[in-house]
Amino acid sequence: MIAYTGDVTFTGKSSAEGGIAGFVKDAVSGEGTPIMEAEGSGTLYVAEQGKKVQILSLDADESISVNGTDVLGFEKKIDYEISTVGGLSQAAAGGLTNVFLTGPGEVAVTTHGDPVVMTPPVTTDPDATVAWSANLSPSIGTNKTIEIGQTSGEQLQMQFTGSEGFVVVQPYEEGGQM
């Protein structure tokens, strides 16, 4: 929260609790995503480190998977689940914590710079990957070149296949995820 007008109250919530309304992301850890509930009447202004904010409208039963560090907020009517991305948690220490969001409703996602939206098949750097259609299941791939102790800069990669859906990347590598 950077500002608000009107009568708004805030309550910290654990990621394990249900029935949460109007969330604002607080922080992400390997243990889950602490969130904050904002209730009342007024206008709430949110931001994160100068990142760009993208508002996504999800239809009923439409789902997306968003990197936990890139979820800024979502409406009360959005269902959510926080977990590590299958297969990726074993690939790197700490794994990749994502929030799976199901509509209907609006979701606020943050990106460093303008997002790039692609359709599969596509291979991405996990540190630049922001979100994808939940019907896509990324697999982890490697592109490691070993030459007398040297490796390539893009050792781990996410591979998305399928005929329907989208993948969102940002022109920035968050670092430390993989």
- Higher-pLDDT residue of 162, 4: 4
Q: What pLDDT, on the 0 to 100 scale, is given for residue 90?
A: 47
Q: Are 136 and 162 in contact (CB under 8 A)?
A: yes
Per the structure block, which two tokens stand in for 129? Answer: 């990957």
Domains in the chain: boundaries: 3-169
Is pTM, for the whole model, over 0.85? no
Q: What pLDDT, on the 0 to 100 scale, is given for residue 46?
A: 92
91-95, 116-120, 125-129, 151-155, range with the lowest pLDDT: 91-95
The mean pLDDT of the chain is 81
Q: What pLDDT, on the 0 to 100 scale, is given for residue 83?
A: 80
Q: Please state, in angstroms and rounded to a whole number, the distance separating the CA atoms of residues 59 and 15.
A: 24
Q: Please state, in angstroms and rounded to a whole number, the distance separating the CA atoms of residues 108 and 64.
A: 12
Q: Which CATH superfamily is domain 3-169 in?
A: Mitochondrial biogenesis AIM24 (3.60.160.10)
Q: What percent of the chain has pLDDT over 70?
A: 74
- Strand 139-142's sheet: what is its strand order? 122-124, 156-160, 139-142
Does 138 score more than 60 pLDDT? Answer: yes
**In whole angstroms, how far apart are CA 37 and each of 13, 18, 69, 172?**
7, 11, 17, 29
- Higher-pLDDT residue of 174, 42: 42
Tell me how crowded residue 64 is: count the other CB atoms within 10 A of its CB: 24
Quote the strand ranges of 23-96, DSSP E.
23-25, 35-45, 52-58, 63-67, 71-74, 79-84
